[in-house]
Chain A
């Protein structure tokens, strides 16, 4: 149980294009999903918190117009990197917190999406 998937697992795009990454909770409903960014050999940095049916909350320093987040249902959140540039190349990981669980309890992580912008 508690499986989170991401699609695609890797993507290569040209500079200036937009890329959408999907995060799905496969066997549970998640009112809250999180998006993280991980640079090589570094830790995960929280980018934003996504709540179903409402606007995402972005961490300080994260451009909301560049990283568009939509949480359309209890099982799906999407992250769109708009007008991607090489510095956006990174490993993007989502996580989901099961609905009805204790706040601050377990998050289940997706396998990540490797984005390379040429």
Chain B
């Protein structure tokens, strides 16, 4: 069975600082990996995804993530945080059955 662990339920950074949100997964087959962002009282918006090919994936809003099979990780980064990045971020994994399994989420706070 697949699972996702997001280290840190709350991450706080200063505006302009590096954002690093951690995600580790377990999967019995090569996984598809996703990062979603959720703003208050809204649905989820896809930031980026990894399916096959290049392990460094670039997404919207300046975010990127790197698939590291040896570490079973898919950490999300952004070089410079913006106030508008404050939101809840979810890492998710799916296998061949297309069901998404989500991590518990990381709340990102950006301080001025």
Give me the interface of A with B, judged by CB distance under 8 Å: 4, 6, 32, 34, 42-44, 46, 49, 91, 93, 95, 97, 102-112, 114
Which segment, of B12-20, B75-83, B101-109, faces chain A? B101-109
Smallest CB-CB A-B distances: 6 pairs: A104-B98, A109-B43, A109-B44, A111-B43, A43-B102, A104-B94
Residues of A within 8 A of B94 (CB): 104
Docked-complex contact B36 and A109, CB < 8 angstroms: yes
Chain A binding surface SS class: strand
Residues of A within 8 A of B51 (CB): 102, 105
A111-B51 Cα distance, complex, nearest whole Å: 25
Docked-complex contact A46 and B32, CB < 8 angstroms: no
Residues of B within 8 A of A6 (CB): 43
Give me the interface of B with A, judged by CB distance under 8 Å: 32, 34, 36, 41-46, 49, 51, 90, 94-105
With A43-B90, A44-B90, A114-B41: A108-B100 Cβ-Cβ less than 8 Å = no
Residues of B within 8 A of A103 (CB): 96-98
Residue of A nearest to B105 (CB): A43
Chain A's nearest CB lies how many Å from the CB of B87? 13
Residue of B nearest to A94 (CB): B43
With A104-B94, A104-B96, A104-B98: A112-B104 Cβ-Cβ less than 8 Å = no
Q: 26 pairs across A/B with beta carbons < 8 Å?
A: A34-B99, A42-B105, A43-B104, A43-B105, A46-B101, A93-B43, A93-B44, A95-B44, A95-B100, A97-B98, A102-B51, A103-B98, A104-B32, A104-B94, A104-B95, A104-B98, A105-B32, A105-B49, A109-B36, A109-B43, A109-B44, A110-B43, A111-B42, A111-B43, A112-B42, A112-B43
A95-B43 Cα distance, complex, nearest whole Å: 9
With A105-B32, A105-B51, A106-B49: A44-B98 Cβ-Cβ less than 8 Å = no
Residue of A nearest to B31 (CB): A104
Residue of A nearest to B88 (CB): A41
A32-B97 Cα distance, complex, nearest whole Å: 12
Residues of B within 8 A of A112 (CB): 41-43
A109-B35 Cα distance, complex, nearest whole Å: 13
